[in-house]
Structure 1
Amino acid sequence: MAAMSAVVDLSVDGDIGVLTINSPPVNALSAAVRDGLAAGVAAAVADPAVKAIVLHCAGRTFIAGADISEFGGAMKGASLPAVQAAMEDCPKPIIAAIHGTALGGGLEVALTCHYRVAVPSAKLGLPEVKLGLLPGAGGTQRLPRLVGPEQALKMVTSGTPISAKAALASGLIDEIAPEDGLLEAAKAFARRPNLALVKVRDKQDKVEAARATAPEMFAQFRKDNARAMRGFEAPEANIKCIEAAVNLSFDEGMKVERDLFVPLMMGLQSKAQRYVFFAERQANKVEGLPADAAPLTIGSVGIIGAGTMGGGIAMNFLNAGVPVTIVEMKQEALDRGVATIRKNYENTAAKGRMTAADVEARMGLLTPTLDMEELSAADLVIEAVFETMEIKRDVFGKLDRIAKPGAILASNTSYLNVDEIADVTSRPGSVLGLHFFSPANVMRLLEVVRGAKTEPAVLATAMATAKKIGKVAVVAGVCHGFIGNRMLSSRQAEAMKLIVEGATPEQVDRVLYDFGWPMGPFQMSDLAGLDIGWSAEKSKGETIRDRLCEAGLRGQKNGRGFYDYDAQRNRTPSPVATQIILDYAAEKGVNRREVGDEEILERCLYPMVNEGALILAEGMAQRASDIDIVWINGYGWPVYRGGPMFWADSVGLAKVAERLTHYGYEVAPLLARLAAEEKSFTGQF
């Protein structure tokens, strides 16, 4: 075996050269990998004993993509296009042996091999769109030549990998190898007699067949995916590249790919999406956690409350194969909650995303009960009861008596003081907050609220458990609303002021929708229900919301809120709500005026940034990027804007501070200092 670089070796087995990449953890296309591939192909070509070459990877995966850490930096080593050209033009057949994942640049390298063999568990895809990019190494031109433009469109605009079985059916790979015999199968493939040098770039049948109907196909695809792609630049660039593959020669298509790739790479959207990629991984690292804080074993979970939130939380654990005991006070509520869980699973099965057997397996892990004593064996108990301190303290007092020693007790509170909840127990070190977001079985975010006495092992367990159930976890400190809801309150308060001063709910919603939110604050309030947390007995008409609820406007649930809703939930501005707002403004002596879109955006978003700066200074969030991850995964902040703190950096903190002062806000000291020093929250600007 000869070393081609520090991470690539070439060995010869009879007449087959085996080029092995060993660059953990994912064999990314670093400079050392590229240099090794270039040297390895050249050495194999020069060896007269070698008749064919197998490219394979050590470890758990094939080349899983580019080395993202190199993006935007100075070019080092052999260029990827030069390596690909050497492989594609190699006079000896090259067979890619694929296991794990062949993603992004990894798949693009495989596409320049003459053949591809993969194990059944392999996944293949071009996920660059998720980083605000397009495949920039020929992927948009070679992929449609193998799988056809329609399949290629789906792959490059979604970034979702496909299975080896689907890859074989589409023509992306040539053979499926045994799971435990990939290398031998690839060698056997390479030894086939008269193996032609098949260049993907020269294959024209599938793109030519689609050319006549391509305009209609592309138009329909854009229409069908307009909502999902709204605001993003990269999907449209990917579509244009596939169009080029259909309508132009390979070399002309490559020029289109390159011309569209560079602006994306240099643009703000891709910078934001790459930042988010790393920020999600950083969020799971807990500062100050001792190295010996090993996670505890969570073999069973108890959940108190079988409502929408409790049932959704239960599904996360059932999906991960963890037995759940769910408790309710009344049989009717328990039956309704269990029925909802089953219905959710059956709906998923009806869409082909799981089998009937999967449904029964998950339901078989669920134990419904009216007896809280049955939680005595659970390793983790999560309460999801009504959001009042009195009720939660009562529940935790009972749990303290029932739960076994060492069990973790968690509250799914959205706002309340976790330390006050912990104080009613004899084990405050075992208590923390686990704030799931609704619907809990869908939303990725989990705020892990670290109490003053939460033990390191308990916090480590919460973070590990979040990962196990597929959540993006962010550690928050104990304060009203934690990270997300604390910042949300500032936005909502300003939005309410704006509609009193002269803006309309629909104008505010439109401005924030155009910014990239899935919906504006008033549409969101209608969706959640205007009467959540509102009490008819205590209401005194002091706020617009009080008056809307007093007038019977509850939001979508009864078709009347800030908007009126028809049977299909289409909305139109509510004349009743409008009059309530006008009357309220007149009563308060407000001279209403025309409010511009820019003012709406600044007054809704800059106070959020200001609150984020306070949260950081108080240590309620570990880092600015954690705040951004909360908002992207829990509240619908557009990922291509990188989160509120990243976005503020891109705007310029001096401008943010100046406008906050203009609107009468006291600028957070941290924000003021960073603005004065021309620094940023995230270090990206």
Structure 2
Amino acid sequence: MSNVVSYRCQEGVGLIVIDNPPVNALGHAVRQGLLAALNEGLADASAKALAIMGAGRTFPAGADIREFGKAPRPPSLPDVIDAIEVSSKPVIAAVHGTALGGGMEITLGCDYRLALESAKMGLPEVNLGLLPGAGGTQRLPRLIGAKAALETIVEGKPIKASRLAEVGIVDEVVSGDLERKAIAYAHQLISEDAPRRPVSALPAAPEDADVFAEFEAAIARKKRGYLAPFHCIEAVKAATEMDFAAGMARERELFVELLNSPQSAAQRHVFFAEREVAKVPGLAKDTPQREINRVAVIGAGTMGGGIAMNFLSAGIPVTMLEMHQDALDRGVSVMRRNYEASARKGRLAAGQVEANMGRLSTTLDYSDLAEADLIIEAVFENMDVKKTVFGELDRVAKSGAIMATNTSTLDVNEIAGATSRPADVLGMHFFSPANVMKLLEIVRGEQTADDALATVMALARRIGKVGVAVGVCYGFVGNRMLHKRQSQALELVNAGATPVQVDRVLYDFGLPMGPFAMADLAGLDVGWRIREGLRESDPANAPAPNWMDALAEAGRFGQKTGVGVFEYPDGGRAPEPSETTAAEIDKYRTEQGITSREVSDEEIRERCLYVMINEGAKILEEGIAARPLDIDVVWIYGYGFPPYRGGPMYWADQLGLNYVCERVKAFREETGDPDWHISPLLEQLAGEGKSFADL
């Protein structure tokens, strides 16, 4: 018998138990073991029914994706599920934890499905650029109809047991001892002489073609650029038009297309990268962590309120500090409205709004932060202001408290220097809106203690964030690269492009919005004030005034004022071209003696994206990011870089670093812009025929 799958007969029920920790992934040994245990159960005369279960914390939570791209080793998962489905005895799937991907497909091959009330099932393959490839797209529509199957497969989200029962996927939802409940359920079926119920034998349910067209139209914007969601639709459609064997053949054809696609390879890279960033090079796995039971947030503005919501939602009490009561009241009111909006959309259960808000306390007095284990400063982006705040924290914070700044650009070491305990200081750069965006850049200062870093890395997961450890420099990883891109976008418009053209090219590449719509969303005043600060503190290296500064000086701050680079009539969010902006651009060109020229879409794409790659290579050289995958994760979860391209550094590898290097040098020659100084690392890798992945 396999050492990862066991069989035993208990009270006339054959129990097939998968024990392949941590998540019972359906690797080769498990597939072999399942077939062997199934055959043993079928040969066991004392077993009148069979039940498949998972040991440990979960039913199989999917395939072993480390096998993707390797030569297949029989038996395949479809073969295992086919064997289950043609069993001569009733087979029950008894589910706890999560039955995901191939795990859920196994349940669809069983006659009956039983689940603990805490269990979830789902088909998340679409998130890896794939579709369910073991019959999921053919069995699920036969079981619950095409429309419900489309929602399950294309969204790829886990579904609670109660909902699974409502739609007809699960037959019984139980609580308590799952093994006992499975045996009892099997006895009930045996006593009732319940029939076998192979899902593949159900008739394909024809659907009006409008169902598929309407579904495709509904997801077109959200899933633009992706292959997998639309291949999923094609596979489900096959289930309504073909017999089971033909539908399975079509599913396999579509699955192989996706498996061999650059998109799926990129999305699998992202899957592994997201897990790898939690392992900080040089930080021991067993580094002790500090307890975080109470958090304080300084500042009740947009960022402070959003930051506080992360902790409140995770069950961690928060004390919020402001200097003035009216600002505090406004901030708390916005937080409550945000929670209430989530409740109306069904994202929060009844009572959660009050429970979350009940964990919040407010104060105007720094002394009330004395018991906080973690204090996060989210005040105005000004070094003097932040150093004043940290001086106060040094006075009131208890020994061992971690003091974090939410700065997006400023020197964390200088901020830490305002305290007598720099080992307790680091950066926690949340992205706006802070209660929604998944990325958290965790900025390690020169003297940040290992246990402080380890604590905040673990805390990121606790509050639902993807934490990436980065070093100290202007803008850290994400904003440092972003500023280079924004600078190129500006220069392209100066040369003759329009803001509409630049934004369209990057939107078509797969980004959620272009540089100028993004600037309007963030607020033109934000970048303007940063540039003004640089002109005061470092005039030799500060950018010269430009037409975007002129817009900000005129009070055109973007979406929040209804006018920015673009205009937003009637308070809407859809950007429209602006004659005022066009006039400012023309004025600037005239003043600078620039003769407008035609700028191609290709030049826009290359200049805006290759400058990021070059800067990313410099970030790696300097040790600001430890690995290329850290940069990829920052850009995917902080800035919406399309996962199907794998992140900027992964994408650069696919382009070929030799080509990228040549183009960077060409732009340096053409523009004279110091931003195009070639990264020695990029040049070295290109010369050696290597990629960032080789690092």
TM-score (norm 2): 0.95
Instruction: Give the structure 1 partner of residue 559 of structure 2.
Output: 556
Instruction: Give the structure 2 partner of residue 197 of structure 1.
Output: 196
- CA deviation vs aligned residue, 1:290-330 (integer Å, no higher than 9, x gap): 35421110010111100000000000000011110000001
Question: Residue 440 of structure 2 aligns to which amino acid in structure 1?
Answer: L
How far 1:195 moved relative to its partner? Answer: 2.4
Q: How does 1:129-140 map to 2 (within 5 A)?
A: 129-140=126-137
Question: Residue 450 of structure 2 aligns to which amino acid in structure 1?
Answer: P
How far 1:50 moved relative to its partner? Answer: 2.1
What is the total number of aligned residue pairs between the two structures?
675
1-side partners of 2:223 and 2:123: how far apart? 17
1:666 to 674, 677, 684: 677
Secondary structure of 2:384's aligned partner:
helix
How far 1:353 moved relative to its partner? Answer: 2.3
Return closer, same or farther for 1:483/1:174 CA change in 2, 3 Å cut-off. Answer: same
Instruction: Give the structure 2 partner of residue 543 of structure 1.
Output: 546
Q: How does 1:235-634 map to 2 (within 5 A)?
A: 235-534=229-528, 542-567=545-570, 568-634=572-638
Q: Is the 8 A contact 1:541 1:547 kept in 2?
A: no
Secondary structure of 1:245's aligned partner:
helix
Deviates more, 1:657-666 or 1:187-196: 187-196
Question: Residue 677 of structure 1 aligns to which amino acid in structure 2?
Answer: E
Secondary structure of 2:121's aligned partner:
strand
Q: Is the 8 A contact 1:346 1:356 kept in 2?
A: no
Instruction: Give the structure 2 partner of residue 171 of structure 1.
Output: 168
Q: Is the 8 A contact 2:409 2:474 kept in 1?
A: yes
2-side partners of 1:39 and 1:525: how far apart? 60
Instruction: Give the structure 2 partner of residue 682 of structure 1.
Output: 693
Return closer, same or farther for 1:45/1:365 CA change in 2, 3 Å cut-off. Answer: same
Return closer, same or farther for 1:638/1:542 CA change in 2, 3 Å cut-off. Answer: same
Instruction: Give the structure 2 partner of residue 188 of structure 1.
Output: 184
1-side partners of 2:265 and 2:285: how far apart? 33
Deviates more, 1:394-403 or 1:567-576: 567-576
Q: Is the 8 A contact 1:548 1:577 kept in 2?
A: yes
Secondary structure of 2:7's aligned partner:
strand
How far 1:562 moved relative to its partner? Answer: 1.7
Return closer, same or farther for 1:552/1:90 CA change in 2, 3 Å cut-off. Answer: same
Secondary structure of 2:117's aligned partner:
coil
- CA deviation vs aligned residue, 1:514-572 (integer Å, no higher than 9, x gap): 00011100111112211225359999982121222234432222222221221134332
Secondary structure of 1:227's aligned partner:
coil
Q: How does 1:51-70 map to 2 (within 5 A)?
A: 51-70=48-67
Deviates more, 1:608-617 or 1:76-85: 76-85
Secondary structure of 2:222's aligned partner:
helix
Q: Is the 8 A contact 2:413 2:472 kept in 1?
A: yes
Question: Residue 543 of structure 1 aligns to which amino acid in structure 2?
Answer: N
Structure 1 stretches of 5 or more lacking a match?
Answer: none
2-side partners of 1:574 and 1:461: how far apart? 48
How far 1:145 moved relative to its partner? Answer: 1.1
2-side partners of 1:570 and 1:322: how far apart? 37
How far 1:589 moved relative to its partner? Answer: 2.0
2-side partners of 1:239 and 1:674: how far apart? 41
How far 1:77 moved relative to its partner? Answer: 4.1
Question: Residue 49 of structure 1 aligns to which amino acid in structure 2?
Answer: S
2-side partners of 1:251 and 1:440: how far apart? 48
2-side partners of 1:576 and 1:426: how far apart? 51
- CA deviation vs aligned residue, 1:39-91 (integer Å, no higher than 9, x gap): 11111222222221111111000010000111011222422122112111111
1-side partners of 2:440 and 2:215: how far apart? 34
1:49 to 46, 58, 76: 46
Matched, 1:89 2:86: yes
How far 1:356 moved relative to its partner? Answer: 4.4
2-side partners of 1:21 and 1:82: how far apart? 17
Percent of residue pairs bearing the same amino acid type: 55
Return closer, same or farther for 1:290/1:541 CA change in 2, 3 Å cut-off. Answer: closer
Secondary structure of 1:228's aligned partner:
coil
1-side partners of 2:118 and 2:693: how far apart? 38
Question: Residue 501 of structure 1 aligns to which amino acid in structure 2?
Answer: A
Q: Please tell me the root mean square deviation across aligned C-alpha atoms, in Å.
A: 1.6
1-side partners of 2:393 and 2:574: how far apart? 45
Return closer, same or farther for 1:659/1:642 CA change in 2, 3 Å cut-off. Answer: same
Matched, 1:80 2:77: yes
Q: Is the 8 A contact 2:548 2:565 kept in 1?
A: no
Instruction: Give the structure 1 partner of residue 223 of structure 2.
Output: 229
How far 1:168 moved relative to its partner? Answer: 1.1
- CA deviation vs aligned residue, 1:127-175 (integer Å, no higher than 9, x gap): 0000000000100000111111111000110101111111111111111
Matched, 1:146 2:157: no
Instruction: Give the structure 2 partner of residue 32 of structure 1.
Output: 29
- CA deviation vs aligned residue, 1:177-227 (integer Å, no higher than 9, x gap): 22x2211221222222312111000112xx43x52xx21111111122211
Question: Residue 197 of structure 1 aligns to which amino acid in structure 2?
Answer: R
1-side partners of 2:521 and 2:327: how far apart? 23
1-side partners of 2:494 and 2:296: how far apart? 46
Q: Is the 8 A contact 2:390 2:415 kept in 1?
A: yes
Secondary structure of 1:571's aligned partner:
coil
Return closer, same or farther for 1:95/1:486 CA change in 2, 3 Å cut-off. Answer: same
Deviates more, 1:94-103 or 1:69-78: 69-78
1-side partners of 2:41 and 2:70: how far apart? 31
2-side partners of 1:356 and 1:118: how far apart? 24
TM-score (norm 1): 0.96
1-side partners of 2:609 and 2:384: how far apart? 34
Secondary structure of 2:351's aligned partner:
helix
Structure 2 stretches of 5 or more lacking a match?
Answer: 536-542, 669-675
Secondary structure of 1:470's aligned partner:
coil
1-side partners of 2:532 and 2:498: how far apart? 29
1-side partners of 2:40 and 2:400: how far apart? 60
1-side partners of 2:601 and 2:532: how far apart? 38
Secondary structure of 1:564's aligned partner:
coil
2-side partners of 1:562 and 1:112: how far apart? 56
Question: Residue 674 of structure 1 aligns to which amino acid in structure 2?
Answer: L
Question: Residue 553 of structure 2 aligns to which amino acid in structure 1?
Answer: E
Secondary structure of 2:526's aligned partner:
coil
Q: Is the 8 A contact 2:11 2:183 kept in 1?
A: no
Question: Residue 287 of structure 1 aligns to which amino acid in structure 2?
Answer: P
Q: Is the 8 A contact 1:32 1:77 kept in 2?
A: no
Deviates more, 1:182-191 or 1:402-411: 182-191
Matched, 1:217 2:211: yes
- CA deviation vs aligned residue, 1:104-125 (integer Å, no higher than 9, x gap): 0011111111111111011011
2-side partners of 1:366 and 1:169: how far apart? 36
Q: Is the 8 A contact 1:478 1:620 kept in 2?
A: yes
